[in-house]
Amino acid sequence: MKFTQNVELLDCEPVSSVPCFRIGFSALEPNGSPAQIPALTLPQLASSLSIDLGDRTVKPFFVSLPLGTSAPKVTRLTLFLIDTSGSMNRSLQDGETRFHAAKAAISHFLENFENGVDRVAVVGFESHRVATTIRSARFATSLADAQSQVDALAAPKPRNDTALYSALDMGIDVLREQIKTLPGAHEAVLVLLTDGDNDVQESRGDDHDLLSGTSGLRVVVQRVRDNSEIRVIAVGIGNPKEVNQDALSQISSEFTMSTDADGLMRAFKHPAPTMQAKDIVATFASPWPDRASLEARSMRLRVQMNLPSGDALYSDEITWTAPEIGQPLFGGRCDAQEGDVLLRSTLTGGGAFWMGIFRPVLVFVGWGAVLLILWFWVPPLIWGHEYAGVISEKDRARWAEGSTARNASSPEGRAAPAGFERARRGVAESRRETPKRLEHHPTAKPDGGE
């Protein structure tokens, strides 16, 4: 796999305070064309991916394909080349002939025929008129048409030999020509079924210039390698000792040996739908909590895709580097689809999401508690004398209960002397002279004086 775009740092607020990364890549064949992988839903595709960051591995929470399609529909081309040499009339362990078991297996394969997707051709070959027979292959676009080709297969004749190499060589040409007529994505499969080895002799009346021997094997092996976009499945049937398993393994992408009809049924499985692994975009959350943690960090990325078959695809390596000074800048924001998937994944994930939600609340409550302490508790510690005269309500009530006893023994509780009045604070003071007492009276003269 190769990266198709640079690593992009994303701002995922308000869904998450943790930054995210977005990458793009494609899975390619050796010739540079997009590789076909089993069709997966977007969640399945995301689950199949692992992103190696050197010291840790993360999983993407979001994956997208071009135009938002999860599995582009492809045309499946399948060419069956069935050995109709004389030995195919022999019986298998269960009593059924090899030829009839092969026809039944193809019919079983066609049960999952999908109109508008599958194109199937069924051709028998032996050692006569090989080129004409195979190049006249017609690809059926309906189940009924494909089944009619199976029913029309000619029964093997005793004198028929096996032009195995030439049949495969010409079958590749047929598929290549058919591929040229397809406007969109495609998958090509050639299924080769035989019970023996390449066995042709012109002296017995077989076609002229048929491939044979070691040189013929080398030619076919090279053709298969040069056309790796065509998947070649070789199926041996019958006695394993009579089948050249080594040669079949060399000229095929997959080789299966079947000794009975049930094994042949299993070998003729309908291929799973495929999709092009092209321009895949994956988004994953940073394993570091914030941009400050990314400062001066260099991150090497490598993507691994685990296929349902058990095989794995690996990307080349790409490096993302943050500036030495200051926090790295965001290259973009999570779009609506990424944000929605991230929100759902964090809700199901639990702790990290809720901590991100409640962290601001906890910070606010913490600062509020600090302010309350500074406002109500610290001042009395610093300016205690300013708060000493303040009497609590409890103390006031307690002092009020003993006020009567105190009044009896205090000056405030004793009667004032004559001529004094009780003041408001309990101190006896002289009465003020009333106006009547202050009236002027003439001073009496002694007797005898005027």
Residue 251 shares a structural domain with residue 317 = no
Residue 49 shares a structural domain with residue 124 = no
- CA trace torsion 201, 203, 204, 209 (10° rounding): 50
User: Whole-angstrom Cα distance, residue 238 to residue 247?
Assistant: 16
Per the domain annotation, does 438 fall within a domain? no
User: Whole-angstrom Cα distance, residue 287 to residue 51?
Assistant: 11
Distance of CA 333 to the CA centre of its chain: 18
Per the domain annotation, does 153 fall within a domain? yes
Residue 36 shares a structural domain with residue 90 = no
pLDDT of res. 450: 46
pLDDT of res. 106: 93
Residue 185 shares a structural domain with residue 332 = no
Per the domain annotation, does 90 fall within a domain? yes
Per the domain annotation, does 427 fall within a domain? no
CA atoms within 13 A on the CB side of 312: 10
pLDDT of res. 443: 54
- CATH number of the domain to which 342 belongs: 2.60.40
Backbone angles phi, psi at 203, to 5 degrees: -65, -20
Per the domain annotation, does 421 fall within a domain? no
Is residue 364 classed as helix, strand or coil in its secondary structure? Answer: helix
Residue 118 shares a structural domain with residue 171 = yes
CA atoms within 13 A on the CB side of 182: 21
Residue 342 shares a structural domain with residue 355 = no
Name the DSSP class of 201. -
Residue 118 shares a structural domain with residue 136 = yes
User: Whole-angstrom Cα distance, residue 356 to residue 15?
Assistant: 9
User: Whole-angstrom Cα distance, residue 336 to residue 14?
Assistant: 12
- CATH number of the domain to which 248 belongs: 3.40.50.410
Token pair, residue 102, equals: 């092969």
pLDDT of res. 215: 93
CB 306 within 8 A of CB 51: no
Residue 200 shares a structural domain with residue 218 = yes
pLDDT tens-digit map of 78-134: 999 999 998 999 988 878 899 999 999 999 999 888 888 899 999 999 889 899 999
Per the domain annotation, does 435 fall within a domain? no
User: Whole-angstrom Cα distance, residue 76 to residue 80?
Assistant: 13
Residue-range definition of the domain harbouring residue 125: 75-270
Backbone angles phi, psi at 240, to 5 degrees: -60, -30
User: Which pLDDT tens digits describe the chain residue by residue (450 residues)?
Assistant: 899 889 999 998 888 889 999 999 998 877 777 787 877 888 888 899 999 998 899 999 999 887 644 455 678 899 999 999 989 999 888 788 999 999 999 999 998 888 888 999 999 998 898 999 999 999 999 999 999 999 999 889 888 888 899 999 999 999 999 999 887 778 899 999 998 888 888 888 888 889 989 999 999 999 999 998 899 999 999 888 888 899 999 999 889 998 888 888 887 776 666 677 788 999 999 999 888 899 989 999 999 999 887 888 899 899 999 998 888 999 999 988 888 888 887 666 555 545 555 667 777 888 888 888 888 777 777 776 666 555 556 656 665 665 555 555 555 555 555 555 555 554 444 445 555 554 555 555 555 544
Residue 106 shares a structural domain with residue 249 = yes
Among 270, 297, 321, identify where a domain stops.
270
Among 349, 369, 390, identify where a domain stops.
349
Residue 196 shares a structural domain with residue 292 = no
Residue type (1 letter), 412: E
R_g of the chain, CA atoms, integer Å: 49
Among 243, 270, 297, identify where a domain stops.
270
Residue 126 shares a structural domain with residue 99 = yes
Per the domain annotation, does 447 fall within a domain? no
Residue 17 shares a structural domain with residue 92 = no
Q: How many domains does the chain have?
A: 3
pLDDT of res. 428: 47
CB 291 within 8 A of CB 285: no
Per the domain annotation, does 123 fall within a domain? yes
Burial class for 293, CB neighbours closer than 10 Å (0-12, 13-18, 19+): middle
Residue with tokens 């362990």: 93
**Residue 65 neighbours by CB under 8 Å, 6+ apart:** 42, 45, 71, 72, 275, 278, 279, 280, 281
pLDDT tens-digit map of 326-359: 889 999 999 888 888 888 876 665 555 455 556 6
pLDDT of res. 324: 87
User: Whole-angstrom Cα distance, residue 346 to residue 349?
Assistant: 5
